[in-house]
Structure 1
């Protein structure tokens, strides 16, 4: 997970600026995100062929798919269509590993310490991201790379993506040493049960929140405030560095105070985050607005990790490991139903009606998410 976090930091550090480099605009960014999120929407279908496979083996396959995606962008990604195609392949591996790593961590943890296990897992991933994003910033400050960028080249992107492919390859090798959590877990293709209704609702809201904040937030910095690759990578690196220590804290809070408390706190903060994203340039001067949005950007990534609370909620009301794994993968598919729709509609809203309305709608979704979280029964969590 440290290696995957490192690779993810490298890739995420250049993704948005690379899309801007090939000419993707506001509405186009939404279209790209539609295809990037499509594997998440179809996750239950992607997992179907591996429904009896051990989690560690599925992690290995997911990493291998991600390698192919990165290599495709390196060799064929100088224009929009092939870039989007191979970005989708990278995303396929990324989405396959999402529910598996969470269920692996939960099933490997001692009873009552699942939140700490997830917090530790995310902390390790963020340690990797810090290293990866620091490398992005350093590479894009090299004189040769700066000169190439001024001439419209993509040397810096190719260097970072090549390092990413190499690291994911090493992650595949490292995954061969993973121990089994508790045998093979059968994963149903689509697992819908009435008792998980609130979880499905939370995932839909999270899909909308993630799309607006994580997709259009970085693009707002690039298109509205002129953020270069090294600036965005630095912000992402700061976020990941903070989260190394903050994620375990969230995990302990979940174990101590319960997942419901964390869910509510996350969505309340998100409401104000969205409003500042949309209106900072109206309230503050240009330079101050950039600072405010940058701080909000980091805060947004800090509170997003509270989404692990929903995984603990699922584990609490599930009857076994198999049900947890199946429900988590189904939840990811459900949040992507909203996510892919928001990707397309959000880009068009920004293009035609302005970024302010886009983030006002996101703030309203945060309110809906809060109401959903409040409806979850209180449960006392033991330390």
Structure 2
């Protein structure tokens, strides 16, 4: 019975993960062209919308209170439904304030599903299986990005923006309604606490989560910008790089989960942060267009290693703390999104290399922090 529940939950999460990924990919792929060519927005408008997009990530802790009135798997399906609604109406509201509204709706759906997705995976799969499941889901995420990009590429010459948004949005809404009819719950699992959980013994998880969020902002906000600004990457070259990146990650993501099981979180995360120190420094030194593309792909590969932070938490957490702690962790992960892009922009004005030196420094801090994992695990075993 337990295996059947695990299988049902895996299929449930897999379908919703594909929908969630496709929704974000459609929004990101069409956003700039729609904003510039249809809505006629300027740079300051784009900046405001991108900042608005991060607000739901900061408010992910509210998931804890939503769980007081709705079951977690239902909230997952509802979040994807909200994402689908946000995507589908984006093309129908071609104005600055319309895009702010649709971005908020889409982003709330995306971030709240990601929070419950992580929580349900850690609840339903044991410490040896969870890394493999995370790896598989990451693999399907990469495959979804590839397929969604190819579909957009093939349909774009024939459909207007509003039709593309509406098509994908309605498909996502349909899948979300299917998920709402499913009941993959295992009622023998420990019930989750329905209140905010912040414990001093989880300090390492909180610190690693914050640093991972800061590293993500360096990558998201400045890596592609560097390729366009300094190395004059064209839209086509960026698209090819994205496609290649997702194909590579489709095959490697499963391997990452296997490595976590075999070698443990400390070694995997140590490899990530040790490598990132040199990758960030290499961003500042290279003048090769080919090398900067390779660095981008390596950067994204190591980004997937962050699943080890969640599986580490699974090993030290009380089973009842997983759902509220994932919500708190998702909020902590997004704190850096509030100030780091702006701070990085100021550093860029002085010297773009300072941004990536800061990324290298943060990687050093993270490398030191992950050495505490073994101590944390021993203390948990002694409790």
- Which category of TM-score, normalised to the shorter sequence, fits these structures? 0.7 to 0.9
Match of 2:88 among 37, 60, 71: 71
Shift in Å, 1:28: 6.9
Report the counterpart of residue 55 of structure 2 in structure 1.
Answer: 38
What is the correspondence of 1:98-247 to structure 2 with a 5 Å cutoff?
Answer: 98-110=114-126, 112-139=128-155, 142=157, 155=160, 157-158=161-162, 160-183=164-187, 185-247=191-253
Shift in Å, 1:38: 1.4
Report the counterpart of residue 149 of structure 1 in structure 2.
Answer: none
Question: Relative contact order, CA 8 A, sep 6+: which one is greater?
Answer: 1
Unaligned runs of 5+ in 2: 1-16, 379-383
* RMSD over aligned Cα atoms: 2.8
Cα distance change on mapping 1:234 and 1:194 into 2, 3 Å: same
Q: Distance in 1 between matches of 2:291 and 2:49?
A: 27
Report the counterpart of residue 306 of structure 1 in structure 2.
Answer: 305
Match of 1:340 among 338, 343, 346: 338
- CA deviation vs aligned residue, 1:220-276 (integer Å, no higher than 9, x gap): 334444545444333223222222221111111111111111111111222223233
- CA deviation vs aligned residue, 1:288-310 (integer Å, no higher than 9, x gap): 32x32222222222111111101
Q: Distance in 1 between matches of 2:124 and 2:329?
A: 21
Cα distance change on mapping 1:90 and 1:276 into 2, 3 Å: farther
Report the counterpart of residue 7 of structure 2 in structure 1.
Answer: none
CA contact (8 A) 1:274 1:362 kept: yes
Match of 1:55 among 61, 72, 93: 72
Q: Distance in 1 between matches of 2:68 and 2:334?
A: 20
CA contact (8 A) 2:75 2:116 kept: yes
- CA deviation vs aligned residue, 1:106-153 (integer Å, no higher than 9, x gap): 33325521111111122222221221122234456x4x79xxxxxxxx
Q: Distance in 2 between matches of 1:255 and 1:267?
A: 18
Cα distance change on mapping 1:162 and 1:225 into 2, 3 Å: farther
**TM-score, L = length of structure 2:** 0.83
SS of corresponding position for 2:374:
coil
2:374 equivalent to 1:370 = no
Q: Which deviates the most, 215-224 or 364-373? A: 215-224
Unaligned runs of 5+ in 1: 146-154
Cα distance change on mapping 1:107 and 1:132 into 2, 3 Å: same
